[in-house]
Amino acid sequence: MLKKKLNRSIGGTIALFVLLALVGLYTSLPLFYTVSNAFKPLDQLYKFPPPLFVANPTTDNFIELIQLCSEYRIPLSRYIVNSVFVSVVSTLGNLALASMAAYPLAKHTFPGKKLIQKMVVMSLLFTSVVTYIPQYVVIAKMGLLNTQWSVILPMFMMPLGLYLMQNFIMLLNDSMLEAARIDGAGEFRIYASVVMPNCKPAWLTLIIFAFQQVWNNNGNLYIYKEAQKMLPALLSSVAAGSSSVARAGVSAAASLLILIPPALIFLLSQSSVVETMSTSGMKD
Q: Which of 91, 228, 255, 269 binds other proteins (CB under 8 A)?
A: 255
Q: Which of 43, 137, 174, 197 binds other proteins (CB under 8 A)?
A: 137
Are the C-beta atoms of residues 29 and 254 closer than 8 Å to each other?
no
| Site stretch for other proteins (CB under 8 A), options 45-53, 55-63, 83-91, 168-176 | 45-53
Are the C-beta atoms of residues 165 and 127 closer than 8 Å to each other?
no
| Site stretch for other proteins (CB under 8 A), options 55-63, 83-91, 171-179, 244-252 | 244-252
Q: How far is the CB of 147 from other proteins (least distance, A)?
A: 15
Q: Is 20 in the site for other proteins (CB under 8 A)?
A: yes
Buried b (16+ CB within 10 A) or exposed e, 239-268: beebeeeebbbbbbbbbbebeebbeebeee
Q: Is 262 in the site for other proteins (CB under 8 A)?
A: yes
The answer for residues whose C-beta is within 8 angstroms of residue 21's C-beta and 6 or more apart is none
Q: Which is nearer to other proteins, 138 or 227 (CB)?
A: 138
Measured CA to CA, the distance from residue 65 to residue 84 in angstroms comes to 19
Nearest Cα residue to 158 out of 109, 217, 115, 226: 217
Q: Is 37 in the site for other proteins (CB under 8 A)?
A: yes
| Site stretch for other proteins (CB under 8 A), options 56-64, 75-83, 132-140, 170-178 | 132-140
Judged by CB under 8 A, the number of residues near other proteins is: 105
In angstroms, the Cα distances linking 259 to 57, 80, 209, 267 are: 20, 13, 14, 12
Q: How far is the CB of 93 from other proteins (least distance, A)?
A: 9
**Residues in region 87-126 near other proteins by CB under 8 A:** 97-98, 100-101, 103-105, 108-111, 113, 116, 119-126
Q: How far is the CB of 85 from other proteins (least distance, A)?
A: 19
Measured CA to CA, the distance from residue 236 to residue 143 in angstroms comes to 27
**Residues in region 62-81 near other proteins by CB under 8 A:** none
Burial of residue 4, with CB atoms counted within 10 A of its CB: 0-12 exposed, 13-18 middle, 19 or more buried: exposed
Nearest Cα residue to 46 out of 237, 247, 235, 241: 247
**Residues in region 179-238 near other proteins by CB under 8 A:** 186-188, 191, 209, 212, 215-216, 221, 232, 235-236
**Residues in region 146-185 near other proteins by CB under 8 A:** 153-154, 156-157, 159-160, 162
